[in-house]
Amino acid sequence: MEKIKEKEFKLNKEEDFSNWFSEIIQKSELLDLRYNIKGFNIFKPWAVEIIEKMYDHMQKILKQKNHKPYYFPTLIPEQNFKLESGHLKGFTPEVFWVKEAGTSKLPEKLALRPTSETAFYQMFALWIRSYKDLPFKTYQRANIFRYDTKATRPLLRDREFYWIETHCAHTSKENALNQVKEDMETTEQVLHGIFGLPFIFFERPEWDKFAGAERTFAADVLNPDGKLVQQPSTHLINASFAKAFNITYKDKNQKQQPCYLTCYGPAMSRILASIIIIHGDNKGLRLPWKIAPKQVVIVPIKNSPEILKKVEKIKQELETKDIEVEVDLSEKTTGEKFYFWEMKGVPARIEIGLKEIENKELTIFRRDLNKKEKIKEKDLIKYIQEFSTQYDKNLTKQSDNLFNNRIIDVDSKSELKKAIEQGKIARCNFCSVEKKAMNCAEIIEKEINAEVRGTKFEKETPLKDSKCVICKKPAKEIVYIARAY
């Protein structure tokens, strides 16, 4: 066992989160961080297989909700960005520009898309004619590029990431806001329902909106270090956008009306970061059942013919139920195999030795509870089918509990400070999330090094006579404050 111990994963998620994360993504063979451009990484097979499954789930649900798939070019002409000044201003510092090809100077600067509103919108103007065309709901699976000038971090803050973007047009602002709600439900269905991630959807304060949005809503997930990670955001786009791109429709009375636009952007590579972080432990990954490339690994305790025959039988039995099975016949020791597949986050391990064959039993190690169970061989299928549901429920419950325990009501600056230092999300009364309240937000940023993340979509109203946690003026909102990346 000495050899195994040497290789064991020594880092501690709770005490040394940052190193834990960067080690785990390498040791579990998700990413290779040695690519020779800063902020760009290589996704290895284990990561690709997970992300492809994540894409499948997200796309399936978007299709059910009548989004249609498109592929738009990766390059967007600079002129498209120039049409909407807020968007241009917001994205200009982050854009990679192409100005040359071969030995020629191109006639126009081309952006590596940081997001694709300005590509879709010029086509919306051509495609949308009448109220009968609306709602017009699209999506594309795409890579996007952002020259983020803050410190890069694998998966969390890469310069190329793997996402889906939806772009929609509606007849009215009300319908557009319903789309925003639908996007939030999609997030709940996929991120919480399938990936087991707890989050809160906030409406971002006025000063923290997407460049070009009238209203921005974003899901925040909490890391063990007390910092929030922004996951999918959905936006009610500024009316100025529809105007700039001339996106209109003829209503039932043949009158030309402006469209109301929304967009939504779940980034699979960044969501993978949260899956790693929220479910992982000091043994490695713990992957939700529906995105695990292998759901069951079978480890023969010895490579004897009798055992191998049984292994093959069990494998085939599981595969008839569409369960993805790996059999580890490598030269590693049994202990090394256990260690390896726990690290990779496979939900269940089946151990088969002579004792198991003798007793017509199977030994199952379950990664949700990190414990072994013995079952009768004949109960295998029933057990695994129940297990797959229970396993996901356990991961979700464990994560939900941790998350909910870290949201705390505070009533004063000192309480706020204490909560933030403990890595919590503080809920408190606040004067206003409009521009004029920037003062209080700035104080929070400067003195406590935390951010006002926003209000809930279904607004919570402060009790009568409540005061802002900072300036003690009458509170108009209940906001959530935390540290963030």
Q: Which is nearer to a second copy, 149 or 256 (CB)?
A: 149
Residue 16 to residues 8, 20, 224, 226, 273: CA-CA distances in angstroms? 16, 6, 10, 12, 16
Site string for a second copy, 74-103 (x = CB under 8 A): xx-x-xx-----------xxxxxxxxxxxx
Secondary structure of residue 19 in the 3-state scheme: helix
User: How far apart are CB 326 and a second copy at their closest, in Å?
Assistant: 13
Q: Is 35 in the site for a second copy (CB under 8 A)?
A: yes
| 379 residue type, one letter | D
Q: Which is nearer to a second copy, 68 or 374 (CB)?
A: 68
Long-range contacts of 416-419 (CB under 8 A, 24+ apart): 416/444, 416/448, 416/450, 416/469, 416/481, 417/447, 417/448
Q: Is 36 in the site for a second copy (CB under 8 A)?
A: yes
User: How far apart are CB 407 and a second copy at their closest, in Å?
Assistant: 35
Q: Is 320 in the site for a second copy (CB under 8 A)?
A: no
Query: Which residues, other chains included, contact 27 with Cβ-Cβ below 8 Å and sequence gap of 6+?
Result: 9, 284, 343
Site string for a second copy, 206-245 (x = CB under 8 A): ----------------------------------------
Residue 322, strand partner residues: none
User: How far apart are CB 93 and a second copy at their closest, in Å?
Assistant: 4
CA–CA gap between residue 21 and residue 15 (Å, rounded): 12
Phi, psi of 226 (to 5 degrees): 85, 10
- Report CA Rg, the chain: 25
- The tokens for 457 are 């979509």
Q: Is 340 in the site for a second copy (CB under 8 A)?
A: no
Site string for a second copy, 39-68 (x = CB under 8 A): -xxxxxx-xxx-xx---------------x
Q: Which is nearer to a second copy, 68 or 393 (CB)?
A: 68
User: How far apart are CB 25 and a second copy at their closest, in Å?
Assistant: 14
Binding test (CB under 8 A) with a second copy, winner from 58, 62, 110, 410 = 110
Q: Which is nearer to a second copy, 83 or 438 (CB)?
A: 83
User: How far apart are CB 6 and a second copy at their closest, in Å?
Assistant: 19
Q: Which is nearer to a second copy, 41 or 432 (CB)?
A: 41
Site string for a second copy, 119-148 (x = CB under 8 A): x--xx--x----------------x-x-x-
Q: Which is nearer to a second copy, 1 or 101 (CB)?
A: 101
Q: Is 322 in the site for a second copy (CB under 8 A)?
A: no
Q: Which is nearer to a second copy, 90 or 345 (CB)?
A: 90
Distance of CA 303 to the CA centre of its chain: 41
Q: Is 329 in the site for a second copy (CB under 8 A)?
A: no
CB 294 within 8 Å of CB 326: yes
Residue 59, strand partner residues: none
Q: Which is nearer to a second copy, 294 or 310 (CB)?
A: 294
Beta strand 425-430 with 75-77 is unpaired
CA–CA gap between residue 296 and residue 274 (Å, rounded): 22
Secondary structure of residue 245 in the 3-state scheme: helix
User: How far apart are CB 124 and a second copy at their closest, in Å?
Assistant: 12
Angle between helices 173-187 and 45-64 in degrees, nearest 10: 140
Binding test (CB under 8 A) with a second copy, winner from 18, 69, 379, 404 = 69
CA–CA gap between residue 391 and residue 459 (Å, rounded): 34
Binding test (CB under 8 A) with a second copy, winner from 149, 254, 405, 414 = 149
424, burial (CB in 10 Å: exposed 0-12, middle 13-18, buried 19+): buried
Q: Which is nearer to a second copy, 138 or 262 (CB)?
A: 138
CB 223 within 8 Å of CB 17: yes
Phi, psi of 39 (to 5 degrees): 90, 0
User: How far apart are CB 76 and a second copy at their closest, in Å?
Assistant: 8
Beta strand 371-376 with 361-366 is antiparallel
User: How far apart are CB 185 and a second copy at their closest, in Å?
Assistant: 23
| 422 residue type, one letter | Q
Q: Which is nearer to a second copy, 326 or 400 (CB)?
A: 326
User: How far apart are CB 161 and a second copy at their closest, in Å?
Assistant: 10
> Of how many residues is the chain composed?
485
CB 270 within 8 Å of CB 218: no
The stretch near a second copy (CB under 8 A) out of 27-35, 178-186, 214-222, 474-482 is 27-35
How many residues bind a second copy, per CB under 8 A?
A: 52
Other CB atoms within a 10 A radius of the CB of residue 229 amount to 22
The stretch near a second copy (CB under 8 A) out of 36-44, 389-397, 441-449, 457-465 is 36-44
Q: Is 104 in the site for a second copy (CB under 8 A)?
A: yes
User: Which residues of the shown chain bind a second copy in the complex (CB under 8 A)?
Assistant: 32, 34-37, 40-45, 47-49, 51-52, 68-75, 77, 79-80, 92-104, 110, 112, 119, 122-123, 126, 143, 145, 147, 149, 160, 162
